[in-house]
Amino acid sequence: MLITIRREAEQDYFTAENCCRNAFWNVYTQGCYEHFLIHSMRTHKDFIPELSFVLEYGKKIIGGIFYTRSNIIRSDSPSVPAITFAPVFIEPKFQRQGFGKKLILHSI
């Protein structure tokens, strides 16, 4: 089946958030919040929509990655501008097959 990585579009928001919720549900804590993080990030001034990607397997979104601007705070010098990716997620039945790595490498 064909794998496609493309920029996230507005019509993908709900599907991407549900995919993220599925990926993190009960993994680190009871329930999860990562899907709400994505929802909130999209309206934040530091969100980088040009680095918002979804991964499709066939025509179905099975993963995604999102970036924000950030700063590395150092005690001995001024802060250093950076970007941070999180979350990166893959639907549970597709995990451990290299799809997350593909998203990270594509976005880099």
pLDDT at 72: 95
64 class by beta-carbon count within 10 Å (0-12 exposed, 13-18 middle, 19+ buried): buried
Supply the pLDDT for residue 77: 87
In this structure, the dihedral spanned by the alpha carbons of residues 83, 50, 16 and 103, taken in order and rounded to 10 degrees, is: -70
The domain in which residue 42 lies consists of 3-107
* Whether the predicted model's global pTM rises above the 0.85 cut: yes
Alpha carbons 72 and 87: distance in angstroms, whole number: 18
Mean pLDDT of 2-31: 94
Please tell me the distance from the alpha carbon of residue 96 to that of residue 91, in angstroms, as a whole number. Answer: 10
How many domains, the chain?
Answer: 1
Share of the chain above pLDDT 70, in %: 100
pLDDT at 31: 86
- pLDDT value of residue 29: 85
The domain that contains 88 carries what CATH number? 3.40.630.30
pLDDT score recorded for residue 1: 78
**Over the stretch 42-83, which tens digit does the pLDDT of each residue have?**
999 999 999 999 999 999 999 999 999 999 998 898 999 999
Mean pLDDT over 9-36 rounds to 93
pLDDT over 90 (residue 26): no
| Cβ count near 107 (within 10 Å) | 17
